[in-house]
Amino acid sequence: MFSPADLVQIPIDDWVNSLVRDFLVPNFRSFFRALQAPVTSVLNWVDAFLHWLPMLAVTAILTVIADRTAGRGVAIFTLLALSFIDMTGLWPETMTTLSMVITSVLFCAVMGIPLGIWAARSDRVLFVMRPILDIMQTIPSFVYLVPIVMLFGVGMVPGIIATIIFALPPIVRLTNLGIRNVRADLIEAAEAFGSTGWQMLWEVQIPLALRTIMAGLNQTLMLALSMVVIAALIGAGGLGLTVYTGLGRLNVGAATAGGIGIVLLAIILDRITQALGEKNSETAPSLWQTLCSLFSWGLEAKQEKDKTA
């Protein structure tokens, strides 16, 4: 039987091998090494800080944040979940994972939001960007783990870079979507009053897209957490390493403990970031207004306002 392979054979593996091995690695290794410097410094800082903070302090901070944003239920859950993690003896690993996740989400936001804004302003940029984002989202992460190791080496920072590649698309996409969905008449109004492009962005587009951008951040965070185990393959530590070692040694118990830690962390971070997104679009009474209404002077002020209505 005839097949196209009889005519032409494409040795794509050889091409990529020579591209990476013979061109990128010898010529650009130092460049890529330099690229990871900002990631390294941020990671070191966050990691050191989280490990320096006592367990109770971290728990207290996260519980208060959860209470302020997502309400009492989530706060109680946060308190119990973090206590549970500490009891399983995985607290240091959890903090390592948390610092990895924070670092990669930070870089995703710093790169992804401007990229999303850029894509929203130009159809041409979006046209080019969309397939790249599709590739980043769908390509199995194992494919790019090897070149990452070759270019960046092993350890936490290459793990974070792999995580960034995997987790970046949602925030770009949703920033783009959020800004494009801002009501046209509001854009027109801002323009009619003589706004510059930047003023339009800061005063109207970003505030109104914030809810969608926060949803993107939430998605990015979840994807970053899901990369924790895979990043452990190339030397990143933390809960992912616990799971990975458990897998390697057929230690079901250790793998389960690590897995539970990841899930609990994921739930806490998810609830908090989701609540952040919803809070922002609410026009209902803010926390401050709610507090005011608890006191009599707040009530009086409200009654006065009602009277004038």
Among 88, 137, 195, 226, binds another protein (CB under 8 A): 195
* Residue 287 contacts another protein per CB under 8 A: no
Nearer to another protein, 8 or 184 (CB): 184
Q: How far is the CB of 164 from another protein (least distance, A)?
A: 30
Among 58, 204, 255, 265, binds another protein (CB under 8 A): 204
d(CA 168, CA 252): 32
* Residue 44 contacts another protein per CB under 8 A: no
Among 22, 134, 203, 278, binds another protein (CB under 8 A): 203
d(CA 253, CA 242): 10
Residue count at the site for another protein (CB under 8 A)? 20
For 304, the enclosing helix (H) or strand (E) is helix 296-308
Nearer to another protein, 18 or 280 (CB): 280
Give the SS3 label for residue 38.
helix
Contacts of 171 (CB under 8 A, 6+ apart): 108, 109, 112, 113, 116, 213, 216, 217, 219, 220
Contact between 42 and 106 under an 8 Å Cβ cutoff? The reply is yes
Among 87, 288, 303, 305, binds another protein (CB under 8 A): 305
Q: How far is the CB of 283 from another protein (least distance, A)?
A: 5
Nearer to another protein, 30 or 283 (CB): 283
d(CA 285, CA 289): 5
| Residue 196: how many other CB atoms lie within 10 Å | 10
Give the SS3 label for residue 139.
coil
* Residue 189 contacts another protein per CB under 8 A: yes
| List of residues contacting another protein (CB under 8 A) | 183, 185-186, 188-196, 199, 203-204, 207-208, 283, 305, 308
